[in-house]
Structure 1
Amino acid sequence: MIFIGVIVLLAAVDLFIKSSIEEQEESQFPKELKGTNGKILLYKNHNPGFSFGFLKDRPEVVQMIPLIVATFIGGMLGGLLKTKGRIADKFALAIVLGGAVSNLYDRLFRHYVVDYFSLQFGKLKKVVFNLGDIFIFLGAAIYLIVELIRTIRDR
């Protein structure tokens, strides 16, 4: 049950921030996130496609692929929940699903994903993303690291 809670909590936090960004006037952006000394800028970006607007002219594809992937990952987590152990795997998949659910909500109901911050470091300055994206990346990285460790240990 804790893993379902993780999914709901992470999705809710990201959706709350997205709603807060959406309520603000477009003219207020970009702006510095307080306390970051200009290292994080806030934006109000609407991305109707995948990363960098890829396939933005194919909304049905942009909605269906994430729905299929999230369903598959949810199935993986559901299967793992029936087994003992593998806590790191379950936690990683829950983190991925937290981000996926938030972005999927945007795609299905807003018809675009709200991206709202950019790290002002090197090439990342050109990229605007949201916490859901971070959760997906973080969960996938944890899952990959756990699998690599398992593979090395089993050899």
Structure 2
Amino acid sequence: MLIYYIISLIIVGIDQFTKYLTVQNIPLHETLEVIPSFLSFTYHQNTGAAWSMLEGQMIFFYIVTLIVIGVIVYYMQTYGRQDKVFAFSLSLILGGAVGNFIDRLFLQYVVDMIRVEFIDFPIFNVADMSLTIGVTLMVIYLFFDEWKEYRQKKVGKN
């Protein structure tokens, strides 16, 4: 199980490092174009959740994040031991949750910087990517796990 906690720590480290580089090198609300019409870095301070929902509700975010972290660690220690894909998805979610929690705790906002130019999408960060990939992987895993159980029950009836 240690490897999955290390993965989470690596994600937190990369997330915090990219946020540090952003704050040190890009003025607030300024944009640094990386690939024209495709990708840029824009320093943004988000006081809410995704798409700036629930702006300024820091106490709410503290409580929810601590509960989420507790649930993730519980599932990692129980069910994560049984399946590597499930444990990996939890490690991605944990890394993303902790990365953004650090910002909220110490800055009262989350540093976002990655902007895709070819679609109208909110600015995000490494922690957000980790959360999104982790949740997507978990949904796919749970779908296939349920399908596998359904197939086993169906075969057992025949």
Structure 1 residue corresponding to 2:105, chosen from 103, 108, 114: 108
* Structure 2 gaps, min length 5: 151-158
TM-score of the two chains, using structure 2 as the length reference: 0.86
Q: CA 1:27/1:5 → structure 2, altered by over 3 Å: closer, same or farther?
A: closer
**1:153 and 2:153 equivalent?**
no
Structure 2 residue corresponding to 1:86, chosen from 83, 87, 92: 83
Kindly state the Cα deviation for residue 150 of structure 1 after the two structures are TM-superposed.
Answer: 1.1
Q: CA 1:28/1:123 → structure 2, altered by over 3 Å: closer, same or farther?
A: closer
2:51 is matched with which residue? 52
AA partner of residue 122 (structure 1): I
TM-score of the two chains, using structure 1 as the length reference: 0.88
Does the residue aligned with 1:26 lie in a helix, a strand or coil?
coil
Q: CA 1:44/1:27 → structure 2, altered by over 3 Å: closer, same or farther?
A: closer
Cα distance in 1 between the residues matched to 2:29 and 2:107: 21
2:139 is matched with which residue? 144
AA partner of residue 11 (structure 1): V
Identity among equivalent positions (%) equals: 23
Does the residue aligned with 1:41 lie in a helix, a strand or coil?
strand
CA RMSD of aligned residues (A): 1.7
Kindly state the Cα deviation for residue 93 of structure 1 after the two structures are TM-superposed.
Answer: 0.3
Does the residue aligned with 1:122 lie in a helix, a strand or coil?
coil
Does the residue aligned with 2:78 lie in a helix, a strand or coil?
helix
Kindly state the Cα deviation for residue 25 of structure 1 after the two structures are TM-superposed.
Answer: 4.5
2:156 is matched with which residue? none
Cα distance in 2 between the residues matched to 1:25 and 1:13: 17
1:23 is matched with which residue? 24
Aligned residues: 149
Does the residue aligned with 1:6 lie in a helix, a strand or coil?
helix
Q: CA 1:137/1:27 → structure 2, altered by over 3 Å: closer, same or farther?
A: closer
Q: Deviations over 1:86-124 (max 9, x none)?
A: 010001100111111100111111111000011122232
Cα distance in 2 between the residues matched to 1:45 and 1:27: 6
AA partner of residue 118 (structure 1): R
AA partner of residue 123 (structure 1): D
AA partner of residue 88 (structure 1): V
Cα distance in 1 between the residues matched to 2:130 and 2:11: 8
* Structure 1 gaps, min length 5: none
Q: Deviations over 1:23-73 (max 9, x none)?
A: 12416821112xx34411101111111123222232211222122212211
